[in-house]
Amino acid sequence: MVGSKKALLAVFLMSLALIGGWSQARGPKIDLGRWAMENKSLIRTVNNGSWSSNPKDAPSDEDLAAMFRFACETQSAVGWNEYFFIAVRDPAEQEAIIGHQTWKGATTPGTVTVLILADQAADPQHHKTPYDAKSLYMQTTMSYFDTGMACGLLNFAAYSLGYSTHYFASPAGSAIKPKDASISYGIGAYNTPNWDISRYLHGKNYVRGWGLPEPMAKFPVEGNCIMIAAVVIGRANPAIDATSAATNHGRPQNWAIWDGASTSASPGPGLAPAVPDATSSATK
């Protein structure tokens, strides 16, 4: 119980920093940009093969619950809340999901693998509960957007508890295969493979809540939700230095502030080179 309270307190304090971090003076109470620069080894993806193998470094059930509670606080379109997370702890099962032949060292006894599911994404012929546009239960690309928003908060919650993550859109293990490799979902689901996740759903009677209407609507996960990705959560191997354990993929500043009067075709200010920091300037 003490550990659970500490985990929830950590996530609560982090949520205050994110949600309540702006004062009436229109200025940040904390500098998230500086925090990100100072914690790149934590917030960058852990390289496959660089996870800790110590089971004590895997997220506890209390920590996972804290992460999921915070992730489910995301604001979703129409209160659809289409996402559903399933945590898998067993090392052999994790390996069977992600696949070590393709992604070597992607999971260890020191990690937990989370299946990321979404409702309202499957085509009608692959969706058990009929869509009903009148009540706003429909196939929609917003299911991906909302699930991505929830995953963003899941990441922040994991970081606040000292964990890192690695996402996989193409698990390659033996436990999850497309029901028919020639079939993928249509335009509405961006051709997501129809992964057979019955192993993790059958007989569980999982239901997902819908934030609208009141009282809360509930829908079966099995037959409606599809898997769109998986995320591995854990801590990097302490025997590997923090810089080497994290991926060194670029973080381009892909943004612009539109000026309707401008006719310039030059790159926007968002593509300006980032200022070197301790992590990126260190030897690899």
* Ordered per-residue pLDDT tens for the chain, 284 residues: 545 445 444 444 454 445 444 445 566 577 878 888 888 878 889 999 999 999 999 999 999 999 999 999 999 999 999 999 999 999 999 999 999 888 899 999 999 999 999 999 998 988 999 999 888 899 998 999 999 999 999 999 999 999 999 999 878 888 887 766 555 444 445 678 888 899 999 999 999 999 887 778 899 999 999 999 999 999 999 999 988 999 888 888 898 888 888 776 555 555 555 445 544 434 34
| Rounded-to-integer distance, Cα 161 and Cα 70, Å | 12
Q: Beta partners for 115?
A: 86, 230
Q: Beta partners for 236?
A: 51
Radius of gyration of the chain (CA): 20
Cα angle value 216/217/221 (rounded, 5°): 125
pLDDT for 189: 54
| Rounded-to-integer distance, Cα 85 and Cα 231, Å | 10
| Rounded-to-integer distance, Cα 261 and Cα 98, Å | 49
Structural domains present in the chain: 31-248 (3.40.109.10)
Handedness of CA 45, 51, 52, 56 (dihedral sign): positive
Contacts of 58 (CB under 8 A, 6+ apart): 89, 109, 110, 111, 112, 234
pLDDT for 57: 97
